[in-house]
Structure 1
Amino acid sequence: MKNEPMLFALEGSQEFGKAVASELGIQLASHEERHFEDGEHKARPMEGVRERDVYVLHTLYGDEDHTVNDKLLRLLFFVATLKDAGARHVTALMPYLAYARKDRRTKERDPITTRYVGQLFEAMGADCVVTLEVHNRAAFDNAFRCRAEHLEAHSLFVEKLREKLGSEDVVIVSPDSGGAKRADRFRDAWEEATGKRPANAFMEKRRSEGVVSGEAVVGDVSGRVAVIVDDLVAGGTTLLRAAKACKDGGATQVYGVITHALFGPGSEKLYDAEELDELLITDSVKAQQKAPSDSNVTVISVAGLFARAIRGLNTGEETSALQD
């Protein structure tokens, strides 16, 4: 059926792609990827795509098999290949978007890589890009001249936390003042689900030459369950600093809510950190260091979120309805 979405998932993202396809009730479309001795590669669809609405999924984080740059280039080339093969619309689905952290100039002559990535997708002919919880939503919205859709997993986290916490008094904490807008959107999701708007707080944070300092919590966490909300965690230092400050400030429990669990070197300290009662993450990234089964880490799937976005895009729904 030509009106049925056609979904490809590139090498390294096929496990997640199969979960999305299952939610949609379809099979992943078949494609071929070849690797050459000099490090070059090619990918091509093994099914006709002419006049079809095609979706390509690839999560852009570095792992043992592929670097970030390698994954980005493979996705860009495949988007262009689909356009050359006659696809009507091509949408790039990126559960984790690489280079989204450098979205503005903080030092003289700094790059703005978020915008450069947007220009690359535009040059390859992408009609739409969809990603989950970028570092700076405003920068993401402004970086792409094609249609750009931003998904958030806040409602999924809220649902899981409500199961655990019931009617406990909650305060939503940003690990720095720059994440206040993200924390506010999480509060919006909490209020929509419960009818009650939780309190908010944020951590004092200063960074100089890679060294993070600042220990004060701005806001009242005493006697409340603190929910620390951030877009990603790599080493975990910032998260644990905020968790300790909340515990020291009288929080009854502390939960971490992190969308992208990059889990780089040193992150193993998060698995049983006494500062955290539980760490909630999504499966947007297949963590390079898998948490042991007895750890305090809980994984929430966002495959259904991407399936709903595909369904909405495929039927022409308004942007605001894509996550509903």
Structure 2
Amino acid sequence: MPDPASLALFSLNAGCEFAGRVAAALGTSLGAHEEREFEDGEHKTRPLESVRGRDVYVIQSLYGDAEQSVNDRLVRLLFFLGALRDAAAARVTAVVPYLCYARKDRKTKSRDPVTSRYVAALFEAVGVDGVMTMDVHNLAAFQNAFRIRTDHLEARPLFLDHFSRHLEADAPVVVMSPDVGGIKRAELFRLALEQRLERPVEGAFMEKRRSAGVVSGRMLVGEVADRQVILLDDLISSGGTLARAAQACIDQGAARVWATATHGVFTGAADRVLATPAIEDLVVTDTLPLLRLESAAVHARLTRLDSAPLFAEAIRRMHSGGSLVRLLAGE
């Protein structure tokens, strides 16, 4: 078993708030580092303490905001990971709660890029030993893109804890995917919730077609009338997919609709779209900061679940040779 003293945690400035909470849950602190900006727009990052022979984890979600683009954050992280490898770290793991470009995992049009594979190649090129993330858009594509170790966490335990406390005991429950692509994700959560609640939980899904950014499809498969509906997705961007599915549920007599997703990206008109009365509650994790969500009406119905302890336990188990499979099973 590795020496606990050999564990080292780092984060770049943009991710230090979340990473600090992960470190606190592990009973340690973040390692010191330097980030320097040069007048020509270039930059450098380096650790300010020795990592020689240590098991190093760098925690950083990859998203864009007004200060840094997603590409800038990606490059900065890659350079820092490379610096750790050059500084003789024994093992370097990138802990990326939200992984950029994960949605572009296949060719949908002629000559399309498979960007998720290119991002994987960049991590491999700087000598990273493994990448840990949470609820990627397409798990099979994520695993196949990398030639290094991948560790995939799921927010399912967080959602199970939340909904087991907030669902009404006297109303039937439906777990619904807002599109066909998410059926497997919704089904796994449905089975786990059924076991937790010790009563039947039904399933449903919504038809969805997207072309040139335009979403269509109106068919809802499953019974939602007089039921509590949990709409489950991996992320919320503009909110249109979930709002559309929520309205379809209300139109068919649903008693209550939760819009639930791991990553709250919240782009474009999400403020307006998610303010629809069809969505009674909005549940996301804290893998991303609330950058563009300003509507008081949306904030009033928003719950953010703390994922830092889950990442901390995953890092603890990886460092000590424990089981991540058992972690996701609640053991």
What's the secondary structure of 2:203's corresponding residue?
strand
Q: 1:88 aligns with which of 86, 90, 97?
A: 90
What's the secondary structure of 1:13's corresponding residue?
helix
Q: Take 2:181 and 2:325, find their aligned partners in 1: how far apart are those partners?
A: 25
Does residue 51 of the first structure (1) align with residue 56 of the second (2)? Answer: no
Letter matched to residue 298 of structure 1:
T
Letter matched to residue 4 of structure 2:
N
Q: Take 2:71 and 2:325, find their aligned partners in 1: how far apart are those partners?
A: 32
Aligned CA RMSD, in angstroms, stands at 1.6
Q: 2:65 aligns with which of 37, 44, 63?
A: 63
Deviations 1:99-153 (A, max 9, x none): 0001111111111111111111111111111001100001011111111011111
Match for residue 281 of structure 2? 278
Match for residue 77 of structure 1? 79
Q: Take 1:118 and 1:260, find their aligned partners in 2: how far apart are those partners?
A: 20
Letter matched to residue 19 of structure 1:
R
Match for residue 291 of structure 2? 288
| Runs (5+) with no aligned partner, structure 1 | none
Match for residue 111 of structure 2? 109
Letter matched to residue 10 of structure 2:
F
What's the offset of the Cα at 1:271?
Answer: 5.4
Alignment of structure 1 residues 225-304 onto 2, 5 Å: 225-270=228-273, 272-291=275-294, 292=296, 295-304=300-309
Letter matched to residue 153 of structure 2:
L
Q: Take 2:97 and 2:192, find their aligned partners in 1: how far apart are those partners?
A: 20
Letter matched to residue 32 of structure 2:
S
What's the secondary structure of 2:71's corresponding residue?
helix
Say which is worse superposed, 193-202 or 129-138, in terms of deviation.
Answer: 193-202
Say which is worse superposed, 180-189 or 76-85, in terms of deviation.
Answer: 180-189
Q: 1:165 to 1:319 in 2, by over 3 A?
A: closer
Q: Take 2:34 and 2:326, find their aligned partners in 1: how far apart are those partners?
A: 34
What's the secondary structure of 2:29's corresponding residue?
coil
TM-score (norm 1): 0.96
Contact 1:228 1:243 in 2 (8 A): yes
Q: 1:34 aligns with which of 28, 33, 36?
A: 36
| Runs (5+) with no aligned partner, structure 2 | none
Contact 2:92 2:129 in 1 (8 A): yes
* Paired residue total: 324
Alignment of structure 1 residues 179-194 onto 2, 5 Å: 179-194=182-197
Contact 1:261 1:282 in 2 (8 A): yes
Say which is worse superposed, 22-31 or 166-175, in terms of deviation.
Answer: 166-175
Letter matched to residue 307 of structure 1:
A
Match for residue 203 of structure 1? 206
- Percent identical: 48
Q: 2:13 aligns with which of 11, 14, 17?
A: 11
Q: Take 2:32 and 2:219, find their aligned partners in 1: how far apart are those partners?
A: 53
Contact 1:254 1:275 in 2 (8 A): yes
What's the offset of the Cα at 1:194?
Answer: 2.4
Letter matched to residue 25 of structure 1:
G
Q: Take 1:311 and 1:321, find their aligned partners in 2: how far apart are those partners?
A: 13
Contact 1:101 1:135 in 2 (8 A): yes
Q: Take 2:191 and 2:43, find their aligned partners in 1: how far apart are those partners?
A: 44
TM-score (norm 2): 0.94
Which stretches of structure 1, 4 residues or longer, exceed 3 Å deviation after superposition? 290-294
Letter matched to residue 164 of structure 1:
H
Q: Take 1:131 and 1:312, find their aligned partners in 2: how far apart are those partners?
A: 15
